[in-house]
Chain A
């Protein structure tokens, strides 16, 4: 067992974690960043397309083409409407205000833009990550690679450290610190298919919840639309998602009906050209699949549609030379479009609006615990259209700086040996058990259950089924899981057992909130309640643990300047109304 000491521990090696670590150093705190995966290649950040959104004026100040008519007020207006008024408007103001500064520094640290539009620069997720890795190293952040933080510890109610696992050696690491920033991203691994990396298991949300933190908006999950399901090697790629915006095309069900024609043409058109595509297309595709009109692998077909093949291919090749996209080769996809068969696609879990509740300093209700990026409650409310990459940078910078300020006020490193001893015993317990079920197969079952029962379209019966599965697994299966190998070094089954506790917890919280919200709003659609109810449901569902039980509370949304609508409005009418409230600024956001 090793021991580390630092003022601020940052948990998570994606963009929010790196920007928080830089923020902590800017605040003169020592900083350790624990990355569960490869340095600067961990989490969802390196996989982003990637756009960095910023209002047009900020873009122009940075020397880019940007919409001159745009303003902070317009961008704010658009984000709140896209979020269907469930946003914390204070946090939206912060996002809009700080964007230009985060954009400028990202470029100054070496990120290369490829092109820009009215409200975004387009670069790569790896480019953003490399820039922040360089700056973090320059500032002396201590970086731990392939190290998973398993639990945080407290002393007198204040965060004072964490227990972590070096995945390569299997050695435990005790980290003493004065503040923790959670930046662990979403819980993609609870689903299949997904567009994020496999280490995203809701660790920060689950650890924070167990430490007494409030979590909110857990029912909202954004599914990237048009994600390939088949063949297996394409599963989860965003290539066809990006194609949908850049190259056109349409969707067909198994009966070869072009089902988008059933919906309001203006809504379909706006969804086709903006990042409203995620929520709208994932929803309507799920409705076809649930109606029994799905393809053999449970999707719908993305086809070139009325676009002639030559024109479609020319558009694809201008974005993806030789049908290559990022690190993958899609050359045999061409034939599927040329023949008219199309690619089997569906929504894939991509972005989790829910997370740890935070104040304007990105502090949770647990003293010394901060949250940034996707594991914090989203400023995008019930639906995200603008970029999460900018969210991770804006929130990371504030959380890191605030955590440094908190750490500076703590006099000494507190120890809590009893708690730590109990944690170590719990973490090592699976290694001492005789083999039971395969942890990999239990996880695979959870992934299928979540995909089927907590997707873009939900109902009470399915949510209750899922909750029953989760409860049975938590009570009867998880305590008996044992890795077949007792070797500590890179023990996949041991890692999966430790992750499963978190995956089951976040899915439980998400399902509890999804069952409670008896309306449809943003990315949460309930078949039995197909209206957005602005009289009853302009509230966040906030969950916390008390005496071992999950308590649910409703909290009115935080409003600064944009007054929410009233009345109950049919879901797709509400979507259109929110789309049409967009300001006179073009682009995809």
Chain B
């Protein structure tokens, strides 16, 4: 069942290593990197890769997508991609990639940072 769903989700062309900075302020004293092997196709975004990890490899991973537009409009999926600021939904995965949360913001969990929220309760 799992194999079938996996094949359906992403027809495999090659695999890349996605290195993700992990940090849960509730339980961790330090951050660390976790590396995941992800099958990718041409024209797949960082967000697609994270969705694959979340759905198939590690459901504890956090990245801002509960309200993501996926079209580069809401700009809430900004993170550091190989050290440069970029949108998860519009940056393509073309090889091994390292993902970090935006610098200068408090980390909520993993790649989610406390941004915006001018009148957050």
A480-517 contact mask (Cβ, 8 Å, vs B): 1 or 0: 00011101111111010000000000000000000000
CB distance from A280 to the nearest CB of B (A): 24
Q: How far is the CA of A441 from the CA of B114 in the complex (A)?
A: 27
List B contacts of A144 (CB < 8 A).
Answer: 119-121
CB of A168 within 8 Å of the partner chain:
yes
Using a CB–CB distance below 8 Å, which chain A residues touch chain B? 2, 4, 36-39, 41-42, 46-47, 125-126, 142-148, 166-169, 173, 197-199, 230-237, 326-329, 438-441, 444-445, 448, 483-485, 487-493, 495
Q: A145-B117, A198-B67 are in contact. Are A232 and B45 (CB under 8 A)?
A: yes
Q: A327-B90, A440-B55 are in contact. Are A198 and B65 (CB under 8 A)?
A: yes
B114 adjacent to A168 (CB under 8 Å): yes
CB of B29 within 8 Å of the partner chain:
no
List B contacts of A445 (CB < 8 A).
Answer: 5
B66 adjacent to A41 (CB under 8 Å): no
CB of B83 within 8 Å of the partner chain:
no
Contact residue among A197, A438, A488, A491 (Cβ-Cβ distance under 8 Å from B69): A197
In the complex, 25 of the A-B residue pairs with CB atoms within 8 angstroms, ordered by the A residue number, are A36-B67, A41-B73, A47-B69, A47-B73, A125-B73, A142-B119, A145-B120, A146-B67, A146-B120, A168-B108, A197-B70, A198-B69, A198-B70, A231-B41, A231-B43, A231-B44, A232-B43, A232-B44, A233-B45, A328-B90, A440-B59, A485-B24, A485-B59, A489-B108, A492-B61
A146 adjacent to B68 (CB under 8 Å): no
Contact residue among B48, B70, B74, B92 (Cβ-Cβ distance under 8 Å from A37): B74
Closest to A435 in B: B59
CB of B87 within 8 Å of the partner chain:
yes
Q: How far is the CA of A533 from the CA of B48 in the complex (A)?
A: 44
Q: A233-B48, A440-B55, A487-B109 are in contact. Are A41 and B74 (CB under 8 A)?
A: yes
A232 adjacent to B41 (CB under 8 Å): yes
Contact residue among B9, B25, B76, B116 (Cβ-Cβ distance under 8 Å from A489): B25
B5 adjacent to A167 (CB under 8 Å): no
CB distance from A573 to the nearest CB of B (A): 37
Q: How far is the CA of A327 from the CA of B74 in the complex (A)?
A: 9
List B contacts of A169 (CB < 8 A).
Answer: 108
Q: How far is the CA of A439 from the CA of B55 in the complex (A)?
A: 8
Q: Which 3 A-B pairs have the closest CB atoms?
A: A231-B43, A327-B72, A37-B67
B41-70 contact mask (Cβ, 8 Å, vs A): 1 or 0: 111110010010011101111111111111
Contact residue among B71, B90, B109, B119 (Cβ-Cβ distance under 8 Å from A490): B109
Q: How far is the CA of A418 from the CA of B120 in the complex (A)?
A: 28
List B contacts of A326 (CB < 8 A).
Answer: 71-73
Closest to A438 in B: B59
A46 adjacent to B73 (CB under 8 Å): yes
List B contacts of A487 (CB < 8 A).
Answer: 24, 26-27, 60, 109
CB of B118 within 8 Å of the partner chain:
yes
B62 adjacent to A490 (CB under 8 Å): yes
Instruction: State which residues 60-108 of B face A: CB under 8 Å.
Output: 60-76, 87, 89-90, 92, 108
Q: A38-B116, A145-B120, A146-B117 are in contact. Are A491 and B62 (CB under 8 A)?
A: yes
List A contacts of B120 (CB < 8 A).
Answer: 144-146, 166, 168
A483 adjacent to B118 (CB under 8 Å): no
Q: How far is the CA of A440 from the CA of B74 in the complex (A)?
A: 22
Q: How far is the CA of A148 from the CA of B121 in the complex (A)?
A: 12
B121 adjacent to A147 (CB under 8 Å): yes
Q: A144-B121, A168-B112 are in contact. Are A439 and B71 (CB under 8 A)?
A: no
Most buried by A among B24, B51, B70, B87: B70
Closest to B91 in A: A233
B60 adjacent to A485 (CB under 8 Å): yes
B72 adjacent to A234 (CB under 8 Å): no
Q: How far is the CA of A147 from the CA of B26 in the complex (A)?
A: 20
CB distance from B89 to the nearest CB of A (A): 8
B119 adjacent to A145 (CB under 8 Å): yes
List A contacts of B24 (CB < 8 A).
Answer: 485, 487, 489
Closest to B70 in A: A236
Contact residue among A439, A441, A489 (Cβ-Cβ distance under 8 Å from B26): A489
Q: A46-B73, A444-B9 are in contact. Are A39 and B116 (CB under 8 A)?
A: yes
CB distance from B26 to the nearest CB of A (A): 5
Q: How far is the CA of A391 from the CA of B99 in the complex (A)?
A: 40
List A contacts of B71 (CB < 8 A).
Answer: 47, 236-237, 326-328
Q: How far is the CA of A143 from the CA of B72 in the complex (A)?
A: 23
Contact residue among A4, A37, A125, A484 (Cβ-Cβ distance under 8 Å from B76): A37
B43 adjacent to A143 (CB under 8 Å): no
List A contacts of B74 (CB < 8 A).
Answer: 37-38, 41-42, 46, 197
- Give 13 new A-B contacts, CB below 8 A, not counting A38-B74, A146-B67: A37-B67, A41-B73, A41-B74, A46-B74, A173-B121, A197-B67, A197-B70, A236-B70, A328-B72, A439-B59, A444-B9, A493-B59, A493-B60
Q: How far is the CA of A495 from the CA of B117 in the complex (A)?
A: 19
Contact residue among B62, B67, B112 (Cβ-Cβ distance under 8 Å from A42): B67
